[in-house]
Copies of this chain bind each other. A is one copy, B any other.
Amino acid sequence: MSGEPSAEVARLRDEVAALHAELVRYGLVAWTAGNVSARVPGHDLMVIKPSGVSYDDLRPDNMIVCDLGGTVVEGDLSPSSDTAAHAHVYREMPEVGGVVHTHSGYATAWAARGEAIPCHLTAQADEFGGEIPVGPFALIGGDDIGKGIVATLAGHRSPAVLMRNHGVFTIGRTARAAVKAAVMCEDVARTAHLTRALGTPVPMAAGDIDALYDRYQNVYGQTGPSVR
């Protein structure tokens, strides 16, 4: 179904290293606090950021390759401290090809209050198909964060989950789609914040949200469905 892992891995090292620049460009990350990974299609492998390395210093050759148990297969550095969460998502959600984690400020503020972001914008209906849900509080270091992500997103159209008191995880068919979801999550979280700061949004009809979601997933762009 795909080529040799080595060719795939080389392509994904390029892609994952480059996609981190989008997190920086959109202001989603401070210092080293955010990461992107990609599944190696057809193999039980993923490519992920090294831990604690500056975004300026990311290159294809210092990306880390792990198996889906989180064990390093290629790379001299330690993988992201969020590797276990990424790996759990890939094990449990076979349709997911990319995972992104950030602490982007507006979205994380909703997460700190434990509030889902209600859907009052066409842009949110397009990308998320409704509210952006809140996942449980979970400590880093085992499978708890990954389990919380999977348990929350399993019941939603949304490719983004707000992990309580923590931050955002997004998924996509590709790493690029997951990065897009992270960018759009912060954008709608910000507009939703600004909306509510001065009053109450006008509700949107559930049928309109459904119609927007269906159209965007199937008509927008050049290549058909882009996210989930």
Contact = CB atoms under 8 A, between A and B. Distances in A.
Count this chain's copies in the assembly: 4
B139 A121 contact: no
A70 interface: no
A50 B221 CA distance: 8
Given A52-B220, A52-B222, A191 B121 contact: no
A186 B105 CA distance: 11
A52 B226 contact: yes
A88 interface: no
Interface of A: 26, 30-33, 50-53, 77-78, 81, 103, 105-106, 108-109, 112-115, 120-123, 137, 139-141, 164-167, 180, 183-184, 186-187, 190-202, 204, 208, 211-212, 215, 219-223, 226
CB-based closest 3 A-B pairs: A52-B221, A109-B194, A30-B187
A109 B222 contact: no
A187 B208 CA distance: 30
Contacts of A201: 112-113, 165
A53 to B, nearest CB: 7
A220 B81 contact: yes
